[in-house]
């Protein structure tokens, strides 16, 4: 299994380098969070992008986001990994089904409590139960591609160009500036931010306001990109934005069940975002440095 750079799913960034290095292996919770961010993305046969996934395109995308390469189709994925009994399933295992009558034809990701997340042909990316009559009768088996609770981290460089895309560090600087925060306290609560780091004052101030709270390991991860969905949440919290009741155009790629739906709607109500000009918001796209400046400038007016 090839381990590439691990992309954390919470907001984080950097401005002085064009490559990212992160030595943290994916955790079960990061797997779940990464997968759930795509809930509501529609089903598209052969789809491998956030415009639409088929079942194996979805599983491949989630694993790629976490830095792991797996095969493309459900049949090919079924040929990988270690067979796992249903009784020994753990978070991150792939679960396979026969929905066509001709062997393995569907795959999802186990997320615990007998639930799995998958790209359903009828509902798009959604959560289902292995206990349901439909899925119970079509279950074919499971494969462990990665032992997430015990996976070994490897350090790899990211292909994300941070001369183009924003980083958590840059967002921290810009938010602290835009909010006029006192950044003299550099006693950072994050284990990967030293008091001598230039961003220490900004992240400490933002943490006090619970705008940035880090991940499960207590890391801020200053050198990672942020998605537009994550940026929406950060801005709403930072500027204490409230719903206005104003009618706004619904974005086609942000379903009401999407975790960031309310945050994105509030941004639109306040005129901080108008989307990407094609009826979409692009929740899973990375925020560019230009977009960051636009967001901050509109929010501070």
The pLDDT of residue 157 is above 70: no
List pLDDT tens digits, range 42-60. Answer: 999 999 999 999 999 999 9
Q: How many whole angstroms separate alpha carbon 93 and alpha carbon 116?
A: 9
| Start-to-end C-alpha separation, the chain | 49
Q: Which of 158, 165, 166 is nearest to 20 (CA)?
A: 158
**C-alpha pair distances (Å), 282 with each of 110, 118, 279:** 26, 20, 9
According to the model, what pLDDT value does residue 26 have? 67
pTM: 0.51
158 confidence band (pLDDT: 50, 70, 90): very low
Asked if residue 15 has pLDDT above 60, the reply is: no
Alpha-carbon distance 82 to 80, whole Å?
7
The pLDDT of residue 266 is 96
Alpha carbon distance 201, 94 (integer Å): 42
Half-sphere exposure of 124 (CA within 13 A, CB side): 16
Angle between helices 168-179 and 200-208 (to 10 degrees): 70
Query: DSSP state, 111?
Result: E
Taking only the tens place, the pLDDT of each residue in 112-147 is: 999 999 999 999 999 999 999 999 999 999 999 988
pLDDT at 19: 28
Residues labelled catalytic = 55, 106, 118
Whether pLDDT at 155 is above 60: no
Q: Which of 87-96, 107-116, 154-163 has the lowest mean pLDDT?
A: 154-163
Could you tell me which residues come within 8 angstroms of residue 58 by beta carbon, excluding any fewer than 6 positions away? 38, 41, 118, 119, 125
């Amino acid at each position: 299994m090839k381990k590439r750079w691990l992309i954390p799913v919470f907001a984080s960034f950097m401005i002085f380098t064009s490559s990212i290095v992160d030595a943290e292996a994916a955790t079960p919770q990061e797997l779940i969070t990464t997968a759930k961010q795509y809930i509501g993305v529609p089903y598209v046969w052969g789809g491998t992008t956030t415009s639409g996934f088929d079942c194996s395109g979805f599983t491949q995308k989630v694993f790629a986001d976490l830095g792991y390469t797996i095969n493309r189709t459900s049949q090919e994925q079924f040929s990988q990994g270690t067979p796992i009994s249903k009784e020994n399933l753990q978070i991150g295992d792939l679960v396979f089904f026969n929905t066509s009558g001709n062997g393995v034809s569907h795959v999802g990701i186990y997320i615990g409590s007998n639930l799995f997340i998958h790209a359903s042909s009828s509902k798009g990316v959604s959560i289902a139960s292995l206990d349901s009559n439909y899925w119970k009768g079509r279950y074919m088996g499971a494969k462990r591609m990665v032992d997430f609770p015990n996976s070994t981290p490897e350090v790899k460089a990211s292909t994300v160009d941070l001369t183009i895309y924003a980083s958590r560090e840059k967002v921290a600087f810009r938010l602290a500036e835009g909010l006029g925060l006192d950044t003299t306290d550099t006693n950072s609560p994050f284990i990967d931010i030293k008091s001598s780091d230039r961003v220490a004052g900004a992240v400490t101030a933002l943490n006090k306001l619970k705008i940035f709270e880090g991940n499960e390991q207590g890391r801020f991860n200053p050198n990672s990109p942020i998605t537009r969905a994550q940026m929406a949440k950060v801005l709403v919290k930072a500027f204490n934005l409230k719903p206005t009741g104003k009618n706004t155009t619904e974005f086609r790629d942000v379903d009401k069940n999407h975790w960031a739906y309310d945050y994105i709607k509030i941004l639109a109500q306040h005129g901080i975002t108008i989307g990407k000009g094609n009826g979409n918001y692009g929740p899973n796209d990375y925020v560019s440095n230009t977009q960051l400046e636009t967001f901050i400038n509109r929010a501070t007016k």
